[in-house]
Structure 1
C-alpha cells in the first residue's frame, strides 16, 4: 500500500510539474477563445495583451468584442473582460478582428478593425462586407475604451489588421492590410485621431506576397516589418527607417495545419517574446473542430539582428519566472 501511495504521489507530482511548465496555449482562466494578440508593456511593468475574441464554435469570424489581459510573469493572467464592443460603435456591427494599442499624450489608444455586411464565400460577387479602422481612447490600459471619432479613420480602401508603431521621436505610423493597399503606411497626427497626409507606399525590395496582420517593432536601431505571408507563414523584413526601404529576410514561424496566424513581438524583462495564435481542439467544447487560442514562444536574434526560426512548443514561456530570476542572479 505504501509503495502504491508513493508511486501515486510521484506521478501526481510529475504531472503537476509538467502542467506548471506547459503554457501553450496561454491560460487565461477560462475556456475563452482568443486570437490576434497585440502585446505591449506599459509603465506599470506589466505585459498587456489586446486580443480578438472568437465566439464558441463560430462559423465564419463574426466577432463582437475585444478583450484585454495582463500579467507580470506571462504565466498568471488576468482577464479584464471586453474593453470595447461593436455594440459601442455607430458605424459597424460585426467583424471585431485583430486590434492593436498604444500609449501617447497620457492616454491609451485602441486601434481596431470593424465592419458591416456579409461575406458570401459561395458567391463572392454577392458579398456586401466592408471593414474600416477605428480609434478608441481610455485613461486605463484595460479600458473601457470609447470610440474617439465616431467613424473609421477612412472609408476607402477597405482595411483591417492595424498595427500602430510609435517611434522614439514620437511619430506614429499605422500599418494595415488594405484592399490594393498592402505595404502602405499612414503617418498619424500627433493626437492619433486622424491620418497625416497621404498613404505612403513602401519599398519592399521587389517582394510583395499576399499578406495580412503586419507588426512593426524596433530593436537596436533596426526596424522590423513582420507579417503572416500568404496569411499563414510568419516572415519579416528589416530596414533603417519605419517606412523602408525594406529588405526581405525570410521565415520566423512556419504555418500550422493550413490555418491563419497573427502575431506580435515584444521585449519583456530582458527576453523577446513572440505571441501568436494556434488552432487546437478544445476538450469539452460544443463542437468537434479546431478553434483559435493565443500562445507564446521565446524569440532569439543573431548578432547581425536577423531572427532565428521559432518552433511551436507545448512549454512556451512557462519557465519565464525562472529565467528572469536566473538573469537577476547573474
Structure 2
C-alpha cells in the first residue's frame, strides 16, 4: 500500500509539473490548430496572442476566423474564442490569414487579411483568388471585433500579412506582403481606418529576397524589420527610422523542414520573446499529417542591438514566471 501511495504521489507531482511549465507548442487547452501568432501586451499587463486558425486537416489554407488568447504567465492560456470571422464580412468569405492588432484612441484594432476566389496550384493561370486587408475595432482586447470600414483598405495591389506598428510619437505604419509590393510601407490616418498618402517603397540596402509576414518593432533607438525570408527562415534588417533606410543583418531562426514560418517579437516583463508557428505531426487525427501550432522562445540581443540566433526547443519559455524577475528587482 505504501508503494501504491508513493507512486500516486509521484503521479500527482508529475501532473503538477506538467501544468506549471510551458511547452512547445503552446498549450491552449484544446487541440486547436493556430498559426501566425501576433503578440501584444496591453495596459492590463497581460500577454495577448492574435492568431489565425487552421481548420483540422484542411487541404489548403481555407481559413474562416481569428482567435484571441491571453495569459499572465505564458503557461495557462485563456481561449477567448473567435474574435472575428469571415462570416462577419460583406467583402470576403475565405482566407482568414495572419492578423495583427493595435491599441490607440481608447480602442483595440484588429488588422486582418481576407479574400475570396480559388487558388489553382496546378494551373495558376486559372486562379481567381484575391486578398485585401481590413480593419476591425473593439472596446475590448478580446473582441468581438466589428468590421470598421465595410471593405478592404485598398483593392490593388493584392495584399495580406499586415504588420501595424505604432511609433512613440503615435504615428502608425502598415507593412504588408503584396503582389509586386513587398518592402512597401503605408502611413495610417490617426483613426487607423485609412491610409495617409501613397505607399512608400523603402530602401532595403539593395537586398530584397522573397518574403511574407513582416513584423516591425522598436528597441531602444533601433527599428527592426523582421520577416520570413524566402517564406522560410526568419531574418531581419535594422534602421534608425520606421521607414528606413534598412540594413540587412541576416537570419535569426533557421527554416524547419522546408515549411513556412510567421512570427512576432515583443517584450514582456523585461524579457524579449519570439512567438512563431511550427509544423508538427498530428498522429491523433485522421489526416496524420503535419499541421501548424503556435510556439514561443526567449529572444536575446547582443550589445550592438543585433539579434542572437534562436533555436527551436521543446521547452520553449518554460518556467517564465520563475525565470523573469519583477521589474522592481531588475
**Residue aligning to 1:93:** 93
**Residue aligning to 2:297:** 297
Structure 2: stretches of 5+ with no match in the other structure: none
Distance 1:189 1:238 in 2: 25
**Residue aligning to 2:270:** 270
2:209 paired with 1:209: yes
Structure 1: stretches of 5+ with no match in the other structure: none
Q: CA RMSD in A?
A: 1.6
Distance 2:76 2:14 in 1: 20
Distance 2:19 2:311 in 1: 20
| Mapping of residues 239-254 of structure 1, within 5 Å | 239-254=239-254
| Mapping of residues 193-232 of structure 1, within 5 Å | 193-232=193-232
Q: Deviations over 1:83-104 (max 9, x none)?
A: 0000000100000000000011
**Residue aligning to 2:286:** 286
Report the alpha carbon displacement of residue 3 of structure 1 after superposing the two structures with TM: 5.1
Q: Deviations over 1:91-121 (max 9, x none)?
A: 0000000000001111110000000000000
**Residue aligning to 2:50:** 50
Distance 2:18 2:65 in 1: 33
* TM-score, with structure 1 as normaliser: 0.96
Is the CA contact (8 Å cut-off) linking 2:234 and 2:252 kept in structure 1?
yes
| Mapping of residues 76-155 of structure 1, within 5 Å | 76-155=76-155
2:307 paired with 1:307: yes
Is the CA contact (8 Å cut-off) linking 2:37 and 2:52 kept in structure 1?
yes
Report the alpha carbon displacement of residue 23 of structure 1 after superposing the two structures with TM: 1.3
Distance 1:186 1:28 in 2: 34
Distance 2:21 2:268 in 1: 18
Report the alpha carbon displacement of residue 281 of structure 1 after superposing the two structures with TM: 1.7
| Mapping of residues 229-240 of structure 1, within 5 Å | 229-240=229-240
Is the CA contact (8 Å cut-off) linking 1:22 and 1:314 kept in structure 2?
no
Q: Deviations over 1:265-319 (max 9, x none)?
A: 0000010000000011234222100100000000000010000000011111121
User: How many corresponding residue pairs?
Assistant: 330
* TM-score, with structure 2 as normaliser: 0.96
Is the CA contact (8 Å cut-off) linking 1:217 and 1:223 kept in structure 2?
yes
**Residue aligning to 1:258:** 258
**Residue aligning to 1:168:** 168
- Classify the secondary structure of the residue corresponding to 1:180: coil
Q: 1:283 to 1:13 in 2, by over 3 A?
A: farther
